[in-house]
Amino acid sequence: MKKGCKYGSHRVLEPQGVLTQAAYKIDNNMEIYSNEILVDVQSLNIDSASFTQIEEEAGGNIEKIKAKIMEIVGERGKQQNPVTGSGGMFIGTVAKIGEDLKDRDLKVGDKIASLVSLSLTPLKIEEILDVKPEIDRVDIKGQAILFESGIYAKLPDDMPENLALAALDVAGAPAQTAKLVKPGDSVLVLGAAGKSGMLCCYEAKKRVGPTGNVIALVRKQEQADNLVKWGFCHKAILASAQEPMAVLNKTLEANKGKEVDISISCVNIPNTEMSCILPVRDNGVVYFFSMATSFTKAALGAEGVGKDVTMIVGNGYTKDHAEITLQELRESETLRKIFEERYI
Amino acid sequence: MKKGCKYGSHRVLEPQGVLTQAAYKIDNNMEIYSNEILVDVQSLNIDSASFTQIEEEAGGNIEKIKAKIMEIVGERGKQQNPVTGSGGMFIGTVAKIGEDLKDRDLKVGDKIASLVSLSLTPLKIEEILDVKPEIDRVDIKGQAILFESGIYAKLPDDMPENLALAALDVAGAPAQTAKLVKPGDSVLVLGAAGKSGMLCCYEAKKRVGPTGNVIALVRKQEQADNLVKWGFCHKAILASAQEPMAVLNKTLEANKGKEVDISISCVNIPNTEMSCILPVRDNGVVYFFSMATSFTKAALGAEGVGKDVTMIVGNGYTKDHAEITLQELRESETLRKIFEERYI
Ligand SMILES: NC(=O)c1ccc[n+]([C@@H]2O[C@H](COP(=O)([O-])OP(=O)(O)OC[C@H]3O[C@@H](n4cnc5c(N)ncnc54)[C@H](OP(=O)(O)O)[C@@H]3O)[C@@H](O)[C@H]2O)c1
Ligand SMILES: NC(=O)c1ccc[n+]([C@@H]2O[C@H](COP(=O)([O-])OP(=O)(O)OC[C@H]3O[C@@H](n4cnc5c(N)ncnc54)[C@H](OP(=O)(O)O)[C@@H]3O)[C@@H](O)[C@H]2O)c1
Any domain includes A150: yes
Look at residue A232 and give its three-state secondary structure.
Answer: coil
Question: What range defines the domain where residue B323 resides?
Answer: 172-343
Q: Does residue B28 lie within any of the structural domains? A: yes
Has residue A166 been placed in a domain? Answer: no
**Any atom of ligand 1 within 6 Å of the Cβ of A338:** no
Q: Which of A120, A155, A190 is the last residue of a domain?
A: A155
Question: Of B155, B181, B198, which marks where a domain is finished?
Answer: B155
Q: What is the pLDDT of residues B224-246, one digit of tens each?
A: 999 999 999 999 999 999 999 99
Residue partners of A331: CB distance under 8 A and separation at least 6: none
CB contact burial B110-141 (16+ within 10 A = b; e otherwise)? bbbbbbbbbbbbbbbbeebeebebebbbbebe
A178 and A218 within one domain? yes
What is the rounded end-to-end Cα distance, in angstroms, of chain A? Answer: 39
Closest by Cβ to B296, choosing from A85, A116, A271 = A85
CA-CA distance, A290 to A103, in Å (whole number)?
A: 36
Query: Which residues lie below 8 Å from residue A153, measured CB to CB, with a gap of 6+?
Result: A112, A113, A115, A164, A168, A322
Residues of chain B with pLDDT under 50: none
Cβ of A88 below 6 Å from ligand 1? no
Same domain, residue pair A93 and A193:
no
Q: Is residue B122 part of a domain?
A: yes
* pLDDT the model gives residue A344: 79
Provide the whole-model pTM: 0.89
Q: Across residues A201-211, what is the average pLDDT? A: 97
Kindly report whether the peptide bond that precedes residue A82 is cis, defined as omega within 30 degrees of 0: no
Which residues of A, range 99-158, sit inside 8 Å of B by Cβ? 115-117, 119-120, 149-151
Confidence at residue A54, expressed as pLDDT on a 0 to 100 scale? 97
Beta-ladder partners of A285: A262, A310
Q: CB neighbours of B142 closer than 8 A, spacing ≥ 6?
A: B40, B41, B123, B124, B125, B126, B127
Q: Are B84 and B131 in a shared domain?
A: yes
Range B155-162 contact pairs with CB under 8 angstroms and sequence separation of 24 or more: B155/B91, B155/B111, B155/B112, B155/B113, B156/B326, B158/B330, B159/B326, B159/B329, B159/B330, B159/B336, B160/B340, B160/B344, B161/B91, B161/B111, B161/B113, B162/B43, B162/B91, B162/B137, B162/B343, B162/B344
The torsion angles phi and psi of B217, rounded to 5 degrees, stand at: -100, 120
Residues of chain B contacting residue A84, judged by C-beta atoms under 8 Å apart: 296
B60/B69 Cα distance (integer angstroms) = 13
Which residue is closest to A319 within chain B, CA to CA? B308
What crossing angle do the helices spanning B195-208 and B321-331 adopt, rounded to 10°?
Answer: 80
Name the A residues in 266-325 with CB < 8 Å from any B CB: 271, 273-274, 278, 282, 288, 291, 293-319
> Are residues A187 and A117 located together in one domain of the fold?
no
Q: How far is B27 from chain A (nearest CA, A)?
A: 16
CB A8 within 8 A of CB A23: no
Does residue A3 form part of some domain?
A: no
pLDDT tier for residue A337 given thresholds of 50, 70 and 90: very high
* A113 and A165 Cβ atoms separated by less than 8 Å: yes
As a whole number of angstroms, the distance between CA B133 and CA B139 comes to: 11
Residue A341: phi and psi, rounded to 5, are: -65, -40
Residues in chain A: 344
Residues B184 and B327 in one domain: yes
Query: What letter does residue A92 receive in the DSSP assignment?
Result: E
Do A233 and A264 meet the contact criterion of CB atoms below 8 Å apart? no
Determine the pLDDT at residue B18.
86
Report the C-alpha gap between B268 and A145 in whole angstroms: 34
| Cis omega (within 30 of 0) for bond into A15 | yes
Cβ–ligand 1 contact at A241 (below 6 Å): yes
Rounded distance from Cα A133 to ligand 1 centre (Å): 15
* Residues A205 and A255 placed together within one structural domain of the fold: yes
- pLDDT at residue B55, rounded to an integer: 96
Count of other CB atoms within 10 angstroms of residue B269: 14
Q: Which of B272, B300, B312, B319 would best serve as a mutation to test chain A binding (most A beta carbons within 10 A)? A: B300
Contact call for residues B193 and B223 (beta carbons, < 8 A): yes
Helices (H), B111-220: 161-168, 172-180, 195-208
> Which ligand ends up closest to the CA of A175?
1
- Name the average pLDDT for chain A: 95
| CA angle, B159 then B161 then B162, to 5° | 110
Residues B114, B190: one domain? no
- What's the number of domains chain A is made of? 2
Quick one: B199 and B332 in the same domain?
yes
CATH number for the domain that contains residue B246: 3.40.50.720
* pLDDT beyond 90 at A162: no
Q: Is residue A321 part of a domain?
A: yes
User: How many CB atoms within 10 Å of residue B284?
Assistant: 22
pLDDT tens digits, A53-99: 999 999 999 999 999 999 999 999 999 999 999 899 999 999 999 99
Residue A164, domain member (yes or no): no
| Best CA proximity match to A270, nearest among A287, A286, A294 | A294
Q: In terms of domains, do A258 and A285 share one?
A: yes
Cα distances from B230 to residues A82, A269, B159, B201, B293, in angstroms, run 45, 47, 21, 11, 29
Query: What percentage of chain B reaches a pLDDT higher than 90?
Result: 91
Average pLDDT, integer, range A227-247: 97
The domain boundary residue, chosen from A126, A155, A184: A155
Using alpha carbons, list the distances in angstroms from residue A18 to A7, A124, B114, B132. 11, 21, 38, 34
pLDDT at A300: 86
Looking at the structure, tell me whether residues A287 and A245 fall in a common domain. yes
Q: Does position A48 have pLDDT exceeding 90, yes or no?
A: no
The residues, ordered by sequence, that sit 6+ positions from A329 with a Cβ below 8 Å of its Cβ are A159, A163, A164, A167, A335, A336, A339
B26 and B126 inside one domain: yes
Report d(CA B214, CA B31) in Å as an integer. Answer: 49
Is residue A284 within 8 Å of residue B74, measured between CB atoms?
A: no
Q: Where are the beta strands (DSSP E) in A245-309?
A: 260-265, 280-288
Q: Is residue A162 part of a domain?
A: no
Amino acid letter, B99: E
Let me know whether A143 and A108 are in one domain: yes
Question: Of A204, A188, A168, whose CA–CA distance to A320 is shortest?
Answer: A168
Residues 6+ apart with CB under 8 A from B212: B181, B183, B184, B185, B186, B187, B204, B205, B234
